[in-house]
Amino acid sequence: MIKKFSAIDTKNILAFLQNKTNDFENKIALGIRTQYGWNEFSYKGIGLLSRKIANWMINCASLLRGDRVAILSESKPEFGACFFASALSCTVFTPLDIKLTIHELLSILSDCRPRVIFVSNSYYNMALELKNRLDFIEHIVLLDDTQSDADITTVYNIENKYDIKFRRPHLRSTAILIYTSGTTGAAKGVEITYLNMLSQIDSLDWVRKYVFPDYDVNSDIAVLSILPMNHLFELTVGFSLFMNWGLSIYYTNSLRPKDILSTMREKNIRFMIVVPAFLKLLKSAIENKIASLSRFQKLKFKFAYTFAALIPFTFFRRLLFKDIHKNFGSKFSGCITGGAPLDISVGKFFERIGIKVYHGYGLSETSPVVAVNCEKRKNLASVGHPLKCFEAKCDPKTGELLLRGLSVMKGYYNRPDLTNQVIDKDGWLHTGDIAKIDKDGFLYITGRIKNMIVLSGGKKVFPEEVEAVLEKSPFFSEICVFGVSVQTGAKEGCEDIAAAVYPAQEIINLPDCEKIIREQIKLLSQKLAPYKRPTNIYILKDPLPRTTTKKVKRKDLKELIGTVI
């Protein structure tokens, strides 16, 4: 059964948003480096800007309850202010992916029909084109200050009016309309309610004692945001949850490791929300730096790394690798990672050098976090216990994870047919993920039903299992395993296993690159049952097509290389 919440059913969402800006009044809430230096907002300041924007939305734009407002922008403090303003005006906040094409944006906007688009300076011209082609868009509001054109409406030159009667949202009304990244097929609008969001914040509160054991309301804890705020993981955890705790959130204009590390050192960053691909890149950067050291220093690191395995205390591990931690600013303690499977070897590497990795699992349809592994630290393969806002079980026939609870989405916007396909009559959300729950209640995600490969003999193979073995090769920069349809012969209508490989830079231009890759796959495949070994190998000249959250677009990959054999 779902556990009782602390005050979710009676909490006034309006008071919740307003009180947080008062509870931490003069603390830095949000900050970003600009060409003029750091632009930082206190909690009071972000609250005032949110009220100002909400006043404009209600009294100047005449937005009604339930109207959609879109935002097309990089992550920045004004993005968060618009999110709060949307809640204060009871409109539906619709964040857009800045990496989408004009064609993809037209499709999404034609579905949700927003009356207002908030936009950063970088995407202002694109917003103008969208407005010219879509007659339901009435206003474009720039998030950046402009001194050159007074005719452009910005969040800074609208009327400075803060104290009006704001609307009180209903807990079960839609707060966020977030479009899925579309790893397969067209994007769908996922409706997330205020109750969904609040249940997440309430259910994740216990995580704080693990990630910030020294926390109190007066703590000055800085975190770094590198995920796009149009992603629900960042909007729920990296923004809403951290704001609820009174943390200082900093954004970066660049994802280059050099710039990220500079910000971490300057602002004494303690924590981050990341995707596994980022951790993998960071591990490679550390290893490359170690490879450039003298022979003595390499041996010193190797000894420390071996010795650290015998030390159960993070504090002493950090002392062993203090030179590495200096690059992070010395205070960086760990991160929550989600959005894709975690390479266990990567997680163990960071744990060994004294950086905690909290492996999580979720999906947009669950608002989005389902579980975070903060307790079972010795087994990074688990994503932890399901949050208290969920009931969880596995289908006894298929192994599919089913979830029910207060964080399950309202449904797909204007698509009851699609909603009914994933939420059954008893309220269980069919996640599409294959999972197991052990005797202690810990959850393990083992594959995707849609990715499952069915062979001619009826054997079922999960690509994730094969990828976990093959990705160990240092000659593979990226690898994706999938099924290819057999069109002729005795296997017609069934699938064979294929692997697409993007080679590592050191071999990609070698004349025997293909030979090396095939030999590596043959060698590593010895660890797999014969029927799980790839029989079709494709060598790519470019990286795998991915979504903004680094998930492989398997459909696009198949179209890219061709799957008919």
Burial of 312 per CB tally in 10 Å (0-12, 13-18, 19+): exposed
Mean pLDDT value of segment 502-515: 93
Copy the structure tokens of residue 83.
């999110």
CB count within 10 Å of CB 38 equals 13
Euclidean distance between CA atoms 109 and 72, whole angstroms: 11
Identity of the amino acid at 510: L
**Secondary structure class of 469 (helix, strand, coil):** helix
Strand locations in 275-349, DSSP E? Answer: 334-337
pLDDT at 491: 62
Taking the C-alpha atoms of residue 224 and residue 287, their distance in angstroms, rounded to an integer, is: 23
**Residue 271: inside a domain:** no
Q: Are 304 and 443 contained in the same domain?
A: yes
Range 193-206 average pLDDT: 94
Cα distance between residue 563 and residue 557, in whole Å: 9
Helix%, strand%, coil% for the chain, nearest 5? 35, 25, 40
Q: Convert the pLDDT of each residue in 509-547 to its tens digit.
A: 999 999 999 999 999 999 888 888 998 999 999 999 987
Question: Which residues does 303 contact at the CB level (< 8 Å), separation at least 6?
Answer: none
434 with 467, same domain: the answer is no
Instruction: Check: CB of residue 371 under 8 Å from CB of residue 361.
Output: yes
Q: Is residue 207 part of a domain?
A: no
Contact assessment for residue 501 and residue 478, using Cβ atoms and an 8 Å cutoff: yes
Based on the fold, state whether residues 467 and 430 are members of the same structural domain: no
Q: What is the CATH number for 282?
A: 3.40.50.12780
**Is the same domain home to 426 and 488?**
no
Domain tally, the chain: 3
pLDDT tens, position by position, 445-498? 988 787 878 776 667 787 888 998 899 899 999 999 998 877 666 566 678 899
Q: State whether 444 and 552 are in the same domain.
A: no
What is the C-alpha to C-alpha distance for residues 494 and 32, in angstroms, rounded to an integer?
A: 52
Interval 32-43: pLDDT, tens:
998 888 999 999
Q: How far apart are CA 189 and CA 232, in angstroms?
A: 12
CB 196 within 8 A of CB 406: yes
Domain boundary at 169, 198, 226, which? 169
Q: Is 233 helix (H, G, I), strand (E, B) or coil?
A: helix
35 within domain boundaries: yes
Q: pTM here?
A: 0.84
> Structural domain of residue 35, as residue ranges?
15-169
Please give the C-alpha separations between residue 201 and each of 340, 363, 460, 476, in angstroms, as whole numbers.
Answer: 21, 16, 38, 39
Do 302 and 375 lie in one domain? The reply is yes
